[in-house]
Amino acid sequence: MAQRNDDPSDVLVGRLSERATLRDLVASVRAGAGAVLVIRGDPGIGKTALLDDLAATHPDLTTERIIGAEAEADLAFAGAARLIVRHKVLVDELPAPQRHALLVTLGVEFGPPPDRFLVGLGMHALLGAVARSGPILILVDDLQWLDQESIDVLAFVARRLDSGGIGMITAQRSDSAVTGFDPLPNLHLAGLARGDALTLLRRVVTRPLEARISDQIVTATNGNPLAIIDLAQELSTHQLVGLTLLPEPMPVGSHLQAHYLRQLEAMPADVQTWLLLAAAEPSGDLAYVAAGSAVLGIDVDAGDLAEARNLVRAEERIVFRHPLVRSAIYGGATAGQRRRVHTALAAVTRRAADTDRRAWHLAAGCIGPDEDVADVLERAAERARERGGYSARASLLVRAVELTPDGARRTGRTLAAAEAAMTAGRAMQTLALLDGLDVTSLDEIDHGRALMIRASTQGFTGEIGAMATIPAICAAAADAFEGRAPELARDALVTAFERSLGAEWMMTGTTRHRPGLPGSADRLAGPLLTRRRLPSCLGEPGNGAVSGGRARSSNRCRHVARQRPSRP
């Protein structure tokens, strides 16, 4: 058994099979191999305890911990940055392209958004450099709450851990899909076996305990360790010996969250607010929570009771005893209470490195349109783009749109958000943003942009026949661009042509005659064919296929430019 402190509930009980699996993984890493394992299980089932036990059992190994925080899920590279910062000296020794890519993600160097492949290679090389001093374990808890950029980078590395003495073990809730890690080796963590569950219960309960009641508790909790521990500590002596009925329903799953809320509601108002501040501050920064408490006029000792009740540990940072506690506190607060603490945290979050976090606090504190906060979010989105944080950029811009009053500014931000969502691979969100646009308010350029965004997204919706309409949408975009942006019009027509190559047999909306448009296609196609290099299937200069290729391309351009869809 692994003893972490004097609390009997912190002694890992059972899990012999799972611990043997992890022991074999560590042995493989010690031998110089690479290994990865994804642990999945319900909340409270013991994923974190298993990771803690592993780290305690192998203190000689270099162990890096990353813990996902729901409040940081939209901050680009927030998770990966913790790993990069800890080994900044080794980052400086990486090949220049990889070093630059990692430093741009941190925001400490400037340049175009780094290539994702280079970021992944840089992280892989960084861990390899760390492993040169000895085997290393990367332990990632609450993977489902990491930001998407960090998930992508870690998944890239995980798929390439075939050697080097690097092991990665991630833990995530079984009801949360993390696509990049789905195909990797996994371990499903179920409830404790009956005998182990009874052992845990008897260790936690020091008062008389009726055997029949023990069986009821174990059965009702399905062997969930956290539920057993919390329920056993809450039951009265009369309930433990069967003189009083047990609570119904037992605190498991969502009921376990309600159990924590009941504990919270029994505490003084200042303690509840302090806990909500701590839950809303994603990094557990004691200084920010203390400063936020001062803004709200909370007693400086309010956190002591929360710590005495074993809901948090306040050391260098505030750590909740379990992620469910944090979720219960934040999710159980009213919208007004959450806005109040976020506004307080925004007022005190002033470090240069936390600018984006402050932007999120400001946004979370808003109750209606606020152009100033929307502008702050827009600038944060641009910083995320510069670091290659495409998913974070999309989230920031979507929130900026929500806070922007109606008008041209909102339209522009909606288009920017749609482009960002498209780049981040969020097809349905992209189309939803486009569908919310007032087409009549768009000028020709914006109308063309909206059409091209729709065309670029259409093929990723998974809908039957989605590819068939793309050429017609691109042709309509070319028509919209023609008067004011001929270059964009030609680009749109080339895209229409390229997409028609694979969809010609099922194309729709490109054959109905529209008076005057063939001439427009001629005007667009002519300069295109003389000034731009077309796909090789059209032939090269000096090749006998050139004239035929140009003729075919001109005909194809005319063919695809037949109908203007009515909406972007």
Which has the closest alpha carbon to 221: 200, 242, 245, 244? 200
User: For the sheet containing 186-189, what is the strand order?
Assistant: 62-67, 136-141, 166-173, 35-41, 186-189
Among 111-120, 229-238, 250-259, 472-481, which is the least confidently predicted range? 250-259
Residue 12 pLDDT level (bands cut at 50, 70, 90): confident
The predicted structure's pLDDT at residue 254: 53
Residue 3 pLDDT level (bands cut at 50, 70, 90): very low
517: pLDDT strictly greater than 50: no
Question: DSSP label at 145?
Answer: G
CA 472, CA 511: separation in Å to the nearest integer? 9
Q: Express each pLDDT in 470-509 by its tens digit.
A: 888 998 999 899 888 888 998 888 888 887 776 555 555 5
The predicted structure's pLDDT at residue 293: 92
CA 36, CA 186: separation in Å to the nearest integer? 9
Q: How many Cβ atoms are within 10 Å of 231's Cβ, its own excluded?
A: 24
Which residues 6+ apart lie within 8 Å of 443 measured at CB?
A: none
Among 225-229, 334-338, 407-411, which is the least confidently predicted range? 225-229
pTM: 0.72
Q: Express each pLDDT in 349-406 by its tens digit.
A: 989 888 888 999 999 999 889 999 999 999 999 998 888 888 889 999 999 999 999 8
Helix (H, G, I), strand (E, B) or coil at 515: coil
The residue written with tokens 């002596």 in the block is: 237
The predicted structure's pLDDT at residue 213: 74
Q: Express each pLDDT in 401-444 by its tens digit.
A: 999 998 889 999 999 999 999 988 888 889 999 998 888 888 89
538: pLDDT strictly greater than 50: no
Identify the bridge partners of residue 171 per DSSP, sorted by sequence position.
Answer: 39
235 vs 273, residue with greater confidence: 273
CA 365, CA 337: separation in Å to the nearest integer? 10
265: pLDDT strictly greater than 60: yes
Which residues 6+ apart lie within 8 Å of 236 measured at CB?
A: 244
CA gyration radius, the chain: 29
CA 366, CA 401: separation in Å to the nearest integer? 13
Q: Express each pLDDT in 277-323 by its tens digit.
A: 999 998 888 999 999 999 999 887 888 888 888 888 887 788 887 77
Query: How much is the average pLDDT of 20-30?
Result: 93
Helix (H, G, I), strand (E, B) or coil at 166: strand
Question: DSSP label at 40?
Answer: E
Helix (H, G, I), strand (E, B) or coil at 41: strand
Using alpha carbons only, give the angle 371, 376, 380 rounded to the nearest 5 degrees: 140
- Give the Å distances, CA to CA, from 9 to 20, 198, 297, 356, 389: 21, 12, 36, 39, 41
Torsion over CA: 108, 112, 116, 122 (sign): negative
The predicted structure's pLDDT at residue 122: 93
Q: How many Cβ atoms are within 10 Å of 444's Cβ, its own excluded?
A: 16
242: pLDDT strictly greater than 80: no
